[in-house]
Amino acid sequence: MSAPIIRNICSSRRAFFHRTLSLKKRFSSSIHALIYDEYGDPTKVVQLETLNDLPLVDKKSIRIKMLASPINPADINTIQGIYPVKPPLPAVGGFEGVGEVVEIKSGASDIKVGDMVIPAINSLGTWRSQVVCPSDCVTVLPEGTPRLFAATLRVNTCTSYRMLADFQDLQAGDTVIQNAANSGAGQMAIQIAAARGLKTINIVRDRPNVDELKAHLHNLGADIVVTDTELRMSSPQKLLQGLPKPKLGLNAVGGKSAISLMKYLQNGGTMVTYGGMSKQPVTVPTGMLIFNDIKVVGYWMTRWHDNNPNSVEAARMFDELCQWSKEGRLCIPRHRLVNIKDYKSGIESAMADFTTEKQILVFDN
Ligand SMILES: NC(=O)c1ccc[n+]([C@@H]2O[C@H](COP(=O)([O-])OP(=O)(O)OC[C@H]3O[C@@H](n4cnc5c(N)ncnc54)[C@H](OP(=O)(O)O)[C@@H]3O)[C@@H](O)[C@H]2O)c1
């Protein structure tokens, strides 16, 4: 593996990049940022750059010291140019993360130095050691929220929370089935479901050390964990072990996996597709629509955040999730901390199969 390149951003790109921040500049200490100036293979187009001229904090902006930021599939797909969000180039990678407010002017009254914040917009570019942005581009989290939980809150945790809340009227004792159950979103869905008294059936791909993975998911609160093959070989009666048939299915895979998942839903159940990791389309057997009345819908957390800026429901969701986290009912999915200077290995691991380990960038500040 070649060493990451640290270089000063060239002046034309720097001008463009800083123009996107729309802020005055000053020379100050340097920061590190993971920047791409073309779409393509993330292991090739992303470069670690040192920025020496940092934006000045004015009355409407704040300076944030970034603490941690995950590498999610959406970040990878965005850099590949296959995600519906296309930031103007050059762009800093990363949709989410957590930081601490380190500089502020009197204008931003709702925020104080020391607050823990996460992005309130999707285009912040979190893979950098410092961010200067308007104060309304962040959400302040309750004091005491665990740092890494905060870093992965806005994307996966909120997605799992909303999918369990918004598509079926689920009561304690109801069952949910999901594939990619070992993903970051899947691990959060297991825990949020358990916190609400819901039962989960969790599908993972076959792998050599599957018993260890199953034990991990059971520890998080999973009721049943099966591999794709076990699911195909089993019957609903045998697999469900007395649980009611699921009202809700969460599909992050597509293809055959989605069809297997759908077959387990009760009549009138809903399958929510939120990811397409297999890159195979979701095909729906006709009978499931007509005779089983299965609802097939999609979900995108980005749209929900865009439609709910500062809403009461958003505040309630963040409060509840942070509270559960502080109480130890939600823990962060398996992860590996990756110094920004080792970003190549982080990106490679994030793109590899069978890792079950969220790569989380941390920064030298
Ligand atoms: N719609 C939304 O708003 C929204 C929000 C959050 C996440 N997502 C999507 O949800 C999915 C999971 O995100 P994440 O951050 O939780 O992922 P992650 O932690 O990086 O985990 C990736 C998951 O995908 C599975 N996977 C990878 N390649 C696969 C393939 N070819 N066939 C079947 N499964 C495969 C992995 O299983 P193995 O361990 O077997 O490799 C793992 O379970 C992604 O598609 C992401 O884009 C969508």
Q: Given the CA of residue 303, which atom of ligand 1 is nearest to it?
A: 3
The whole-number pLDDT of residue 24 equals 37
273 alpha carbon to ligand 1 midpoint, in Å?
Answer: 11
* Residue in this structure with the two tokens 């960038």, named with its chain if needed: 361
Closest-CA residue, ligand 1 atom 31, reads 278
Protein residue closest via CA to atom 6 of ligand 1: 156
Question: Residue holding tokens 């799992």?
Answer: 160
pLDDT at 108: 61
Name the CATH code of domain 156-302 (choices 3.90.1210.10, 3.40.50.2020, 3.40.50.720, 3.40.50.10470): 3.40.50.720
Atom 26 of ligand 1, residue of closest alpha carbon: 277
Which residues have a catalytic role annotated? Answer: 83
CA-nearest residue for atom 22, ligand 1, is 183
Distance from C-alpha of 27 to C-alpha of 48, rounded to nearest angstrom: 19
Smallest CA-to-CA distance from 294 within 129, 123, 149, 177 is with 177
Query: Can you give the pLDDT at residue 118?
Result: 98
Domains 6-152+332-362 and 156-302 share a fold: no
Could you count the other beta carbons within 10 Å of the beta carbon of residue 93?
A: 25
CA 277–ligand 1 middle distance (angstroms): 5
Tell me the CA–centroid distance for residue 181 and ligand 1, in Å. 9
Model pLDDT, residue 53: 77
The tens-digit pLDDT sequence of the chain (365 residues) is: 333 333 333 334 443 344 344 333 443 478 999 999 999 999 999 999 999 877 889 988 999 999 999 999 999 999 999 999 999 999 999 999 999 999 998 766 789 999 999 999 988 999 999 999 999 999 999 999 999 999 999 999 999 999 999 999 999 999 999 999 999 999 999 999 999 999 999 999 999 999 999 999 999 999 999 999 999 998 888 899 899 999 999 999 999 999 999 999 999 999 999 999 999 999 999 999 999 999 999 999 999 999 999 899 999 999 999 999 999 999 999 999 999 999 999 999 999 999 999 999 999 76
Which of 178, 209, 277 is the pocket-test mutation for ligand 1 (most atoms within 8 Å of CB)? 277
169-187: b (≥16 Cβ within 10 Å) or e: ebeeebbbbbbbbbbbbbb
231: left (phi over 0), alpha (psi -120 to 50) or beta: alpha
Pocket test for ligand 1, best of 80, 96, 152, 183 (most atoms within 8 A of CB): 183
Task: Tell me the CATH number of domain 6-152+332-362, given options 3.40.50.720, 3.40.50.300, 2.40.430.10, 3.90.180.10.
Answer: 3.90.180.10
Distance CA 258, CA 6 (A): 43
8 Cα–ligand 1 center, Å = 34
Q: Which atom of ligand 1 is nearest to the CA of 181?
A: 43
Q: 159 alpha carbon to ligand 1 midpoint, in Å?
A: 12
270 token code pair? 């809903």
Which residues lie with the beta carbon below 6 Å from any ligand 1 atom? 72-74, 155-156, 159, 180, 182-185, 205, 252-253, 274-275, 277-278, 299-301, 353-354, 356, 358
Task: Determine contact, residues 147/67, Cβ cutoff 8 Å.
Answer: yes
**What residue type is 331 in one-letter code?**
C
Residue owning the nearest CA to atom 2 of ligand 1? 300
What CA–CA distance (Å, rounded) separates 167 from 189? Answer: 14
- Nearest-5° Cα angle at 316, 315 to 320: 120
Give me ligand 1 centre to Cα 156, in Å.
Answer: 10
Query: Ligand 1, atom 42: nearest CA belongs to which residue?
Result: 183
Determine the atom of ligand 1 nearest the C-alpha atom of 275: 45
Q: Return the pLDDT at 123.
A: 84
Q: Whole-model pTM above 0.85?
A: yes
Domain chopping of the chain, boundaries: 6-152+332-362, 156-302
The whole-angstrom separation of Cα 349 and Cα 57 is 36
